[in-house]
Amino acid sequence: MGLEKFNPSLATHDLIQDLKWTPALRDAFAASEASVLDRYALRPDERRAIEARDFRALYDMGLHPYLGGQLARLIFGNEAGKGATVAVNKLVESLQGKGAVG
């Protein structure tokens, strides 16, 4: 999962950064993920990978390695007491090819 596959043109990068820095967008994403995804120029395979929680596919498309963990925490939470354990486990399951992790 190095930078050799990094593709800076993926709209997923913008989505993740916007989710990180915009609480109202995170709330909108939690309420209606599809409506937030509609705001971004995601390739069809990017969108399917996000919806399926297929981080491996996103990395294969060129997602920056750092941002996969960020997206996992945004999707699966980073609650007090649990930390990012659930998010990390879901990310690792996807990277190991264990199917949909939603």
Residue pLDDT, tens place only, 50-64: 999 999 999 999 999
Query: Can you give the pTM of this predicted structure?
Result: 0.85
Taking each helix axis as running N to C, give the angle between helix 11-21 and helix 44-52, from 0 to 180 degrees, rounded to the nearest 10: 50
Look at 47 and 1; give whichever has higher pLDDT: 47
What gap in Å lies between CA 53 and CA 101, rounded to an integer? 6
84 versus 27: the higher-pLDDT residue is 27
Q: What is the pLDDT of residue 38?
A: 98
Q: If pLDDT is split at 50, 70 and 90, which confidence band does 88 have?
A: confident
Whether the pLDDT of residue 99 is over 90: the answer is no
CATH of domain 3-95: 1.10.700.10
Question: Nearest Cα to 58, choosing from 8, 12, 9, 4?
Answer: 12
Confidence at residue 31, expressed as pLDDT on a 0 to 100 scale: 96
Percent above pLDDT 70 for the chain: 89
Domain residue limits, the chain: 3-95
Compute the chain's Rg from CA coordinates: 13
